[in-house]
Chain A
């Protein structure tokens, strides 16, 4: 998957649109954990947590690897940076654009 593509970014933003998934990601960002350890603080089934992890994995935000009897979850930060870059780029783009629009129109009225 090309992570910079529109559909890749869409998956990332979709994954991040849910509070539980953001919390999971935050936890994984600090420490590599097993699925069981990750699910422990949540009042939801392991299956429900796994579904959220599926969404994060589809967006390439995490990796799951089998290690003995457990599945370890680790962060894959690159798509997060791509999403951040998208936001930062268009934030600046329209901020600058509106500056110029404002300068053009307000100069004209004076």
Chain B
């Protein structure tokens, strides 16, 4: 399993996910950038993507509207709009965009998605970071592996 390197100027809050998909690299890349394919899968659980706009060029905008699907249980959050701008595009290899969800407009995110050929398909890595940058002199303090510590702390606090 590959490890995708976080940008050196990365902030400290991130979620990173890697998945191997049995499809060509181009097909997986297209699924992240082409509106007609994005509509088929993008959005929170219990929602359907009713609108997708995606101009996958640096400076191009994206906009997704997700509505609760008819089978969604009551209590499912209402429609969510995700919008922002592409900040980096390497076709078939890497896509980066920054944006926010209407459900939490303060939660600006930087999303970096990378695509890599692997045996049997394509490895896709999603790096979701809080967008606000830390001062550069604090970045070296970053260490991986504190998520578990945080879990333990929260458990301790909750006890």
Contacts of A101 in B (CB 8 A): 19, 21, 28, 31-32, 41, 124
**A80 interface contact, C-beta 8 A:** yes
**CB neighbors of B among A61-78 (8 A):** 75, 77
A98 to chain B, nearest CB (A): 4
Q: What does the 1/0 interface line of A71-110 toward B look like (CB < 8 Å)?
A: 0000101001101101100111111111011111110110
Interface residues on B, range: 35 or more
B72 to chain A, nearest CB (A): 13
**B143 interface contact, C-beta 8 A:** yes
B115 to chain A, nearest CB (A): 12
A1 to chain B, nearest CB (A): 12
**CB neighbors of A among B43-76 (8 A):** 43-45
Contacts of A2 in B (CB 8 A): 106
SS class of chain A's interface: helix, strand, loop or mixed?
Answer: helix
- Given A17-B143, A81-B154, A84-B154, the answer on whether A10 and B13 have CB atoms closer than 8 Å is yes
Question: Which B residue sits closest to A4, measured CB to CB?
Answer: B106
SS class of chain B's interface: helix, strand, loop or mixed?
Answer: mixed
**A14 interface contact, C-beta 8 A:** yes
**A6 interface contact, C-beta 8 A:** yes
**CB neighbors of A among B62-106 (8 A):** 106
**B157 interface contact, C-beta 8 A:** yes
**B37 interface contact, C-beta 8 A:** yes
In the complex, the answer to whether A105 meets B44 with C-beta atoms within 8 Å is no
Closest 5 CB pairs of A and B: A13-B13, A100-B41, A105-B23, A90-B15, A17-B12
Chain A residues in the interface with B (C-beta under 8 A): 2, 4-7, 9-10, 13-14, 16-19, 22, 25-26, 29-30, 75, 77, 80-81, 83-84, 86-87, 90-98, 100-106, 108-109
Known: A14-B138, A17-B12, A97-B42. 11 other contacts (CB 8 A): A2-B106, A9-B13, A13-B130, A17-B142, A18-B143, A26-B152, A26-B153, A84-B150, A84-B154, A90-B128, A106-B23
